[in-house]
Amino acid sequence: MMATAQRHVPQLKRDFAALRKDFPALQQLVHGKPLAYLDNAASSQSPVAVLDAMAEQQRRNHSNVHRGVHQLSERSTAAFEGAREKVRRFINASSVAEVVFTRGTTESINLVAASFGQGLKSGDEVLITALEHHSNIVPWQLLCERSGARLVVAPILDDGSLDLAAFDALLGARTKIVAVAHVSNALGTVNPVADLIDKAHRVGAVVLVDGAQAVPHTRVDVQALDCDFYAFSGHKMFGPTGTGVLYGKRALLEAMPPYQGGGDMILTVSFERSTYNALPYKFEAGTPNITGVVGLGAAVDYLEGIDFASVAAHEHALLERASQRVLREVEGARLIGTAPNKASVLSFVVDGIHAHDLGTIVDSEGVAIRTGHHCAMPVMERFGVAATARASFAFYNNDDDVDRLIVGLLKAVEIFRG
């Protein structure tokens, strides 16, 4: 009997100490001390593979895409569309037609609000949560102002998790769009998005998921989630800024009018009328960020080689270590956001010390954290604080980064309290 052929499964990388060496930015000194980069929720660093791919595109292939018949244009087009296929495979979209390149999560959400949102009318409702980033609030406010629809907000509990009973009560026949973060950027709360999507679909609502904080940390399967739209950014997932993706179900994208007009989103133009290009190009007006998209594709390649189960365990251990040490050793420290299901985001305040002062002092120790309202001012208002300090971890962080954060915080306490 012949042996059954075995499908080759590549060995996924789990040695995060070795992977750290792939990131040039992490090898530098800041204020004479090794950099401990803990601002990954704002923007993660890029590995050499991404930097090299972008440099190669600029050095050898720099040319516009799709319309040129010369060699450089053909190479650029192949790299650009190759990145689209990489993204399709990465999120398990059913077709490259469902992968629209944008400048980031913000533009992706605005695209849906401006285009799909044209179907809303007075009396309709858009349901969001109190966890949302401004980018998943303001576009819906603008849509409601234009259409007469009403923005409805599901509250959060004292631990920073979504009030599911309130969400269920607010969801109803008037709900046309549900827009929800997969992971909160300000608190790290992981929402039960699959359950929320199922509930929304039962009342006929369309669901957009802000996945900016999820894609770098967990495998996302848009078909398994059954979301209608999923938005994320390149610079959160070890790629370049100015790049992003809007996934949308093909039937919805087909029915939506163009978001912007201009080159590449058209088939024909006359002064009487224009006809529009096929998906996904109907939503990609103008010359795209070609080099950035090539870099995004390289970031996807890099992430495809990493074991995400190990990533989750590693990042959770760092979060636990940091949370326990902050509470135990930093006098007056209080965590903001203690939901039982959290990503690797630690937000906290220290009594008597402004978050910006904390950030400045830990920076003097070579530790990069984020301070402020994190583009989530309603979250800050909910917890009665003007700002928090936020340390956010990626797979390339380690225990030493956590320990040096504590050293910086203790220095701040000593300066302000003697």
Query: Coil, strand, or helix at residue 112?
Result: helix
CA distances from 30 to 25, 295, 359, 368, 390 (A): 10, 26, 14, 9, 19
Cβ–Cβ < 8 Å for 372, 356:
yes
Cβ–Cβ < 8 Å for 375, 135:
yes
144 is a catalytic site residue: no
Residue with tokens 């940091």: 322
Q: From CA 417, how far away is CA 409, in angstroms rounded?
A: 12
Q: From CA 350, how far away is CA 328, in angstroms rounded?
A: 12
Q: How many CA atoms lie within 13 A of 281 on its CB side?
A: 17
Cβ–Cβ < 8 Å for 185, 345:
yes
- Which region holds residue 148: left if phi is over 0, alpha if psi is between -120 and 50, else beta? left
Out of 266, 375, 407, 410, pick the active-site residue: 375
Residues with catalytic roles:
375
